[in-house]
Amino acid sequence: MIATRADRVFDLRAGERPRAAGLFAVSFAFGFGLSAMEIAIQTSLLASGSPDGIPWAQVAVGVTVFSAGGLLSVLRARLSPAVFVGAPVALLGAVALLVLPQIVGAAPGLPGLLGLIASHGVLSALAMVAFWTLAARSFDIEQSRRLYGLVSAGELVGIVVAGLLAAPMRHWLDLPALLALSLALVTLTGVALLPFARSVHGSTPHEDELPAAATAPLERRHVGRCIRYYSAYNLTYYLIEYTLFIAIQRAFAGEPESIAGALGAVSAARVALGVASGCSSPGDCCRASDLDSA
């Protein structure tokens, strides 16, 4: 009875519930794990007492995410679709889980924090590509229009939960323990993606694709507009974030637990504002703008 009502509420049709639930769980796990890791690293950065490292943190994010994009392009050409979905994030997460908590102390210096920020940036890029690749293979175009919002909502719920628990987790756990917890969750989720990807590979009907030559101009325009949008979004976002970091650092100097609570509250508020406006991420806004119709 409850399942039937849920199907009606979320517009789920026959056979869609297991895949939608699985993708929601994956999205939640990635959202919670990566958000908890990010807040823990940012808390240590702001608690260090100097704002000089904050701009370098943004540089680290930009360089590593760009590098991760190149790495993903290489891996996509060399790995099977089912392996490509989960293997990169699982492998990198496992390496980070084994290495980072062991070499990072409770109060690392700026180079160590920049390394952590870089690792988080790469993991986030791999996780995002893994999730949306799996989502695209799980549903056809009609299903995607109905269900992408539902399955991706797991990430938003995960971010909110991580934000609400940020201060308590910082109170009970130091940075290495928080890193271990977050990385373990991300790694296990990446491993779980492998059988999930194999189960959906080739089983979902997709509309016939147009020849590449016919779609190339449209794809170039779409990609170009998305790049311009993302560039403007990130520039604005990082300027606001930098100002916010300075304010939090000054308000809670030397108080890691209070800093973590403030950063968690900001994350939860950001999600709430995004949901209220209909664009909870730059990707949502890019899709909502229907650029491919231009």
- Residue 262 maps to which CATH number? 1.20.1250
- pLDDT, position 185: 95
- pLDDT, position 292: 43
- pLDDT, position 8: 58
- pLDDT, position 144: 66
- Domain-embedded: residue 207: no
Q: How many domains does the chain have?
A: 1
pLDDT of 157 above 90: yes
What sign does the dihedral 199-29-147-11 (CA atoms) show?
Answer: positive
- Domain-embedded: residue 208: no
- Domain-embedded: residue 242: yes
Q: pLDDT digits over 197-241, tens only?
A: 887 755 544 444 455 555 567 777 877 887 788 778 778 877 888
pLDDT of 276 above 70: yes
- Domain-embedded: residue 176: yes
Domain holding 227, by residue range, is: 14-202+215-293
- Domain-embedded: residue 185: yes
pLDDT band at 13 (very low <50, low <70, confident <90, very high): low
Alpha-carbon gap, residue 210 to 212, rounded angstroms: 6
pLDDT of 135 above 50: yes
Residues 6+ positions from 242 with CB-CB distance below 8 Å: 54, 55, 58
Measuring CA to CA, which residue among 178, 147, 172 is closest to residue 20?
Answer: 147
pLDDT band at 158 (very low <50, low <70, confident <90, very high): very high
- Domain-embedded: residue 8: no
- Domain-embedded: residue 2: no
pLDDT above 70 coverage of the chain, percent: 78
- Domain-embedded: residue 9: no
